[in-house]
A and B are shown apart, each in its own frame.
Chain A
Amino acid sequence: MIFGTDRPEPWLAAVFEGAGATLWWNASTGETGGEVWDVARASGWLVMPEFATDAPHPRSERTAFFARAAAFADWREAWWPASYVRGIAPLDPRALSAERAVALAALDGVTDDEDAPARALAGLARWTAELGMLDDTAVSAEAVFGEAGVAGADDLVRLADDYGVALVPAPVAAREDYALAAAGEAPAAALVGGSDPVDPGAVPPGTVDPFARIEWRVTATMALEATVAAAPVIGSAPAAPLTALVGPVEVPLGRTGGVWAGRVTGGAAILALAPEHRTARLMAQGFEPVAGVDPAVLARIAGSD
């Protein structure tokens, strides 16, 4: 049974997986809906809507607040369009993890996965082990912390310990600046070249700048080179295996600083193509593309029109 707005397209769906019911919000319009898949389980926390057009609403406002917060933390982790090109700063993965963990702990007993709080806190612990503890300012910045009574890093440590997770307050690591990386060497003289926009739905989060273009060129030595700007990230960059597909030729890419780049022999195959077939797109091994992603909409949601 679906109530309220239908499932948004996946890239616009902020999802909360509750016991017996999945709730969603359209990240673009804010509309909400949900699927009640087990009435008996969901009835403990959800008021069953009378009409299919009514959005399902939790019994308690606080449950609704935290469910939405957890859903949007997931959405931002997946789809936040951090970009050098558009000047959209990356989000601190510790802050996102902490928001999700605090929200899910507030929803203990309401989540489909009864270990969701512990899982989320373990995720936060991995980030704080890498980047150091969140400072108190970051903790006070988001409403979810205030609502949950988490006033600072100490409260986070205590919350994690409630679930048997040790948040090691490691010394704060020097925060890596995400300032514009150098664009790389000037390209060799090219026989032919071109560029196409990135489809963010084709690659995992944190890999490629959603507003960049995939640049390719065939050099005088018939090498095919491809480059695309990486997404700015805080902390270690995801190590996804990316490939640029230029016409029929696969160019494996490696990330160095702010750029993904690769070079293969076989440029002749591109020269043999009709110009309209000389297009470039990205693939990631083991990653099924999400169709229809519009970076402009992501930028608007991120507050950068």
Chain B
Amino acid sequence: MTQTPRTTVIAETWLELGNGVGPLSNAAGLPLARTIKLVLDPLVLRPAQRPHLGHALLSDDAADEVRERIRAAAGDLESTAAWFTMMKSRRRARRITSGSPQDLYFQKAYELARTASEASEAAADAALDEVHDPGRMTAADLREFLAATATRVRAVIDEAWGGAMHDAVEDPDIAGLADELAGGGFDAFDRAVEAGEGSAAGRALSAPGAARAAGMTARDVPVPPEVGEQASKANLPDPFDRSILERLFQQVSSLGIQGTQALSALVDDEARRSAAPWQLAAEENRLVMAAGRAALAGGAAGGVLDARWQREAFVRRAHRMGTDAREGAREAVMRRLWARLQGRELRRIPADATEAWDLIDGATRSVILDRRDAAKARMGRA
């Protein structure tokens, strides 16, 4: 049985769609990064429901299914492109400058493509109003809300922590799982989700020093979070040491939350999340954390991440950019990974095995790029 890279199947089928999807394509006619991430994967191919379509290498049958699904969506995708173009043009006409159009409009445009008829200015304006709704809760609203309800929120936190299992359990060995993920396999991941190994690894963090070693806290043993009165992006503590405010303030305005009741539900969810293993709600996400930790410890998966750092050392010199900066990177990657997983939970993006490695590798890349930017800034070039 031959195996074809998923990226090849998508690229070749996308090129068949032609000019109608131009606004969703790059200069070579290939789909944009966010066309894949926000439209093709979650709305057309849906590997979360059809894991066989999420493999990096596809069997002939799966490749055919991917092609068919993209071809069948051709009309919707062309219409999405038209709506996206219309929304951008109305954005300019109305001098809206906040947010990134791809991030904000792609999924809305797809929704309009599936539900509305021809792209019209009025409908595009209504969509923009919805996306840019000023009635949404902001970080300031959140801070005010937490200040007014601190006692109640405190009680929710304490209740959640009181009911949580704090006994240190044995840390499962998932090095093999991490290696399999790095090699493109999902079977061990799916088995480990069923066995709850991500949760077990998370509970094992309550042993003295364990959560600190994982980069999650500066304390010996994690404690329940504060409600929080202040938060700043520049001084965020380690993930488990963040207050409820610090866990939510950067994301709240992009979540489209309307009204105090919804804000209250968001806060309660966060309080309960903080008492869960890895302080994450979904078993899949807990397992991604555990797999990330295993990968960062070495093995074949660690080798893949090491190779990234070695390429970075070369690029740093080629860019005449000072020293390599790998010190403390392991913990930094773990913190980045946690923040991304928590962010996905807030957005209700389901986790699945097909994305696990990309999340771990992506957190590593993100730390590398941030350190590159910081090096540039230190040299006075940013």
Residues of B within 8 A of A290 (CB): 317, 320
Q: Are B318 and A15 in contact (CB under 8 A)?
A: yes
Residues of A within 8 A of B57 (CB): 40
Residues of B within 8 A of A42 (CB): 7
Q: Are B365 and A44 in contact (CB under 8 A)?
A: no
Given A45-B11, A286-B323, A288-B322: A106 and B102 interface contact (C-beta under 8 Å): no
Any B CB within 8 A of the CB of A3:
no
Any B CB within 8 A of the CB of A66:
yes
Q: Are A240 and B380 in contact (CB under 8 A)?
A: yes
- Cβ contact of B28, chosen from A39, A62, A112, A114, cutoff 8 A: A62
Q: CB-defined interface of A42-72 with B at 8 Å, one 1/0 digit per residue?
A: 1111000000000000111011001000000
Q: Are A118 and B100 in contact (CB under 8 A)?
A: yes
Any A CB within 8 A of the CB of B127:
no
Given A39-B5, A43-B7, A45-B11: A108 and B33 interface contact (C-beta under 8 Å): yes
A199 to B10: give the CA distance in the assembly, Å. 48
- Cβ contact of A107, chosen from B7, B26, B103, cutoff 8 A: B26
Q: Are B28 and A41 in contact (CB under 8 A)?
A: no
Any A CB within 8 A of the CB of B67:
no
Q: Are A17 and B315 in contact (CB under 8 A)?
A: yes
Residues of B within 8 A of A44 (CB): 5, 7-8, 10-11, 30
A169 to B5: give the CA distance in the assembly, Å. 44
A236 to B102: give the CA distance in the assembly, Å. 33
Residues of A within 8 A of B323 (CB): 286-288
Greatest chain B CB density within 10 A among A62, A164, A239, A240 is at A164
A41 to B37: give the CA distance in the assembly, Å. 14
Given A15-B315, A44-B11, A163-B100: A109 and B322 interface contact (C-beta under 8 Å): no
Q: CB-defined interface of B349-382 with A at 8 Å, one 1/0 digit per residue?
A: 0000000000000000100010001010011111
Q: Are B382 and A158 in contact (CB under 8 A)?
A: no
Q: Are A106 and B97 in contact (CB under 8 A)?
A: no
Q: Are A106 and B26 in contact (CB under 8 A)?
A: yes
Q: Are B378 and A286 in contact (CB under 8 A)?
A: yes
Q: Which of B29-84 contact A (CB under 8 A)?
A: 29-37, 56-57
- Cβ contact of A11, chosen from B27, B56, B317, B380, cutoff 8 A: B317
Interface residues on chain A, number (Cβ under 8 Å): 67
Q: Are B34 and A40 in contact (CB under 8 A)?
A: no
A75 to B321: give the CA distance in the assembly, Å. 11
Complex: chain B residue closest to A63, CB-CB: B28
Given A162-B101, A163-B102: A40 and B56 interface contact (C-beta under 8 Å): yes
Q: Are B314 and A240 in contact (CB under 8 A)?
A: no
Any A CB within 8 A of the CB of B348:
no
Q: Are B30 and A238 in contact (CB under 8 A)?
A: no
A11 to B316: give the CA distance in the assembly, Å. 10
Any B CB within 8 A of the CB of A136:
no
A5 to B91: give the CA distance in the assembly, Å. 46
A223 to B161: give the CA distance in the assembly, Å. 67
Given A10-B317, A40-B56, A237-B380: A113 and B365 interface contact (C-beta under 8 Å): yes
A158 to B380: give the CA distance in the assembly, Å. 28
A44 to B30: give the CA distance in the assembly, Å. 9
Any A CB within 8 A of the CB of B88:
yes
Any B CB within 8 A of the CB of A266:
no
A72 to B317: give the CA distance in the assembly, Å. 15
Q: Which of B302-332 contact A (CB under 8 A)?
A: 307, 311, 314-315, 317-324
Q: Are B30 and A41 in contact (CB under 8 A)?
A: no
Greatest chain A CB density within 10 A among B5, B26, B102 is at B26
Q: Are A75 and B97 in contact (CB under 8 A)?
A: no
**Smallest distance from the beta carbon of B23 to chain A beta carbons, Å?**
9
Any A CB within 8 A of the CB of B6:
yes
Any B CB within 8 A of the CB of A35:
yes
Greatest chain A CB density within 10 A among B98, B319, B324, B365 is at B319
Q: Are A35 and B311 in contact (CB under 8 A)?
A: yes
Q: Are B11 and A204 in contact (CB under 8 A)?
A: no
A240 to B381: give the CA distance in the assembly, Å. 9
Any A CB within 8 A of the CB of B99:
yes
Q: Are B320 and A11 in contact (CB under 8 A)?
A: yes
Q: Which of B138-172 contact A (CB under 8 A)?
A: none
Residues of B within 8 A of A123 (CB): 382
Any A CB within 8 A of the CB of B184:
yes
Complex: chain A residue closest to B373, CB-CB: A119
Q: Which of A1-18 contact B (CB under 8 A)?
A: 7, 10-11, 13-15, 17
A237 to B373: give the CA distance in the assembly, Å. 17
Q: Are A286 and B7 in contact (CB under 8 A)?
A: no
Residues of A within 8 A of B379 (CB): 204-205, 238, 240, 284, 287
A163 to B32: give the CA distance in the assembly, Å. 12
Q: CB-defined interface of A4-37 with B at 8 Å, one 1/0 digit per residue?
A: 0001001101110101101010000000000101
Any B CB within 8 A of the CB of A79:
yes
**Smallest distance from the beta carbon of A161 to chain B beta carbons, Å?**
7
Any B CB within 8 A of the CB of A183:
no
Q: Are B380 and A238 in contact (CB under 8 A)?
A: yes
- Cβ contact of A45, chosen from B28, B56, B324, B365, cutoff 8 A: B28
Any A CB within 8 A of the CB of B94:
no
29 A-B residue contacts at CB 8 Å? A10-B317, A10-B318, A11-B318, A15-B314, A15-B315, A15-B318, A17-B311, A17-B315, A19-B7, A35-B311, A37-B311, A39-B5, A40-B6, A40-B56, A42-B7, A44-B8, A44-B10, A59-B28, A60-B28, A63-B30, A106-B27, A107-B27, A109-B25, A109-B36, A111-B33, A162-B102, A164-B101, A238-B380, A287-B323
A residues at B contact (CB < 8 Å): 7, 10-11, 13-15, 17, 19-20, 22, 24, 35, 37, 39-45, 58-60, 62-63, 66, 74-75, 77-79, 105-114, 118-119, 123, 126, 147-148, 158, 161-164, 166, 201, 204-206, 236-240, 284, 286-288, 290
Nearest 4 CB-CB pairings of A with B:
A44-B7, A164-B100, A10-B317, A238-B380
> Given A15-B318, A22-B311, A287-B379, 11 other A-B contacts at CB below 8 A?
A10-B317, A58-B28, A62-B28, A78-B318, A107-B27, A110-B26, A119-B369, A162-B88, A201-B320, A204-B379, A290-B320
